[in-house]
Amino acid sequence: MTIWCRIEDVAGRITLQRPDALNALTHAMCLEVDKALDAWRDKVSIVIIDADGDKAFCAGGDIADLYASAQRGDVTYGQTFWRDEYRMNAKIAAYPVPIVSFLHGFTMGGGVGLGCHAAHRIVCETSKIAMPECGIGLVPDVGGSRILARAPKRYGVFLGLTGQRMGPEDAIYAGFADCFVPQALWADLKSALIHSGDTAAIAEVANEVSPPDIPVDIETLFAGRDLRTIRDRLAEIDDPAFVHARAALSRNAPLAMAAFLEMIGRLGTTPTLHDALTLEYRYTSRSIAQGDFIEGIRAAVIDKNNAPQWHHANEPDVPRDLVLNMLATLGDDELNLEGIG
């Protein structure tokens, strides 16, 4: 069993059960979550999403399956996976009863889509949240672009371009989580929620957290939609705080980063989740046939040489027409979110 969906007392419970794979999310698991949410709509007072194991809530989507399908020349598997996953993400955000997610360890990519659109998102001492998609030739997706667009002072742009991991304080500041509860208290909190359905129990055990130490230059350095300009600004800054950022922007996929900046520009600071998912799907649905996604998986997961051969890696700018093409309407194949939220 890779996921366990059941009702306990007044709560619907969804537990990821792939700890050896860092609870990576498969297409089948997405469908199970979607099916459970539909079935429980009038049967539970609360939904709790958590995961087995010590290392991860969910470290992302199972990209090995996507790579295998692409090697067979099948682009439709990825498109179907993303379409169903994004509909699930939207359903979580719009669910009529509170959803509470417990985000321990790694929560990245698909894990963000599963856990970070819940009404109550709880982090702890071990939480490490990130959107590292530009490092594998994708844009931050699963609705993550909306959270990044809404983050204060261009911090979301910094996080999306670099893939930097957030601890609990950063995650709360950036809008990926709501509160910090020490992990030692989680079992009792879950029990209280299961029996009462009353989310007031969360506030009773939540700890206050100090604001993270965010470099003040981020808002200026990461302004605008021009990837080349951001790189040039970083090159001129002699600040140890940006060593990782400079390395990430030279390492990640140029087309994906340029498209992400375009997406953030279009979404503005008050985007809807539907708008974000629609833009994301335009990119991801094309990413296997037209982007760098397969090369990114090869370098990071299959060959593990961390030496991707990106398109436009040796060019000063990514051609804007290619960016616009990756985000152009899909016509009849646009993501359909009708009836959700």
pLDDT tens profile 245-261:
999 999 999 999 999 99
Exposure string of 99-125, with b = 16+ CB inside 10 Å and e = fewer, is: bbbbbbbbbbbbbbbbbbbbbbbbbbe
- Please indicate, yes or no, if residue 263 is contained in any of the structural domains: no
Distance from C-alpha of 282 to C-alpha of 222, rounded to nearest angstrom: 24
- Please indicate, yes or no, if residue 118 is contained in any of the structural domains: yes
What is the average pLDDT across 271-298? 95
What is the average pLDDT across 140-150? 98
Mean pLDDT of the chain: 95
Domains of the chain: total: 1
Q: Which residue has better confidence, 174 or 216?
A: 174
Q: Which of 116, 161, 166 is nearest to 142 (CA)?
A: 116
pLDDT given for residue 211 in this prediction: 87
- Angle of CA points 193, 198, 203, to nearest 5°: 90
**Would you say residue 112 has pLDDT above 90?**
yes
- Please indicate, yes or no, if residue 35 is contained in any of the structural domains: yes
What is the average pLDDT across 34-53? 98
Calculate the dihedral angle through the C-alpha atoms of 32, 60, 94, 183, rounding to the nearest 10 degrees. Answer: 100
- Please indicate, yes or no, if residue 42 is contained in any of the structural domains: yes
**Would you say residue 94 has pLDDT above 80?**
yes
- pLDDT per position as a tens digit, 226-252: 999 999 999 998 888 899 999 999 999
pLDDT class of 71 with cuts at 50, 70, 90: confident
- pLDDT per position as a tens digit, 305-325: 989 999 999 888 999 999 999
pLDDT given for residue 299 in this prediction: 93
pLDDT given for residue 65 in this prediction: 83
- Please indicate, yes or no, if residue 188 is contained in any of the structural domains: yes
pLDDT class of 123 with cuts at 50, 70, 90: very high
Structure tokens, 224? 């605008």
pTM: predicted TM-score of the whole model, two decimal places: 0.97
- Please indicate, yes or no, if residue 123 is contained in any of the structural domains: yes
Residue 60 sits in a domain whose CATH number is: 3.90.226.10
Q: Which of 2, 126, 103 is nearest to 48 (CA)?
A: 103
151, 140 contact by CB (below 8 A): no
Helices and strands in the chain: count of H runs, count of E runs = 16, 9
What is the average pLDDT across 204-210? 94
**% of the chain residues with pLDDT over 90:** 87
Q: Which of 125, 247, 138, 144 is nearest to 184 (CA)?
A: 125
Task: State the DSSP string of 197-244.
Answer: --THHHHHHPBP-PPP---TTHHHHT-SS-HHHHHHHHHH---GGGHH
Give the distance, in angstroms, between the CA of residue 159 and the centroid of all CA atoms in the same chain: 11
pLDDT class of 341 with cuts at 50, 70, 90: low
pLDDT class of 270 with cuts at 50, 70, 90: very high
- Please indicate, yes or no, if residue 276 is contained in any of the structural domains: no
Q: Which domain holds residue 70?
A: 3-130+168-205
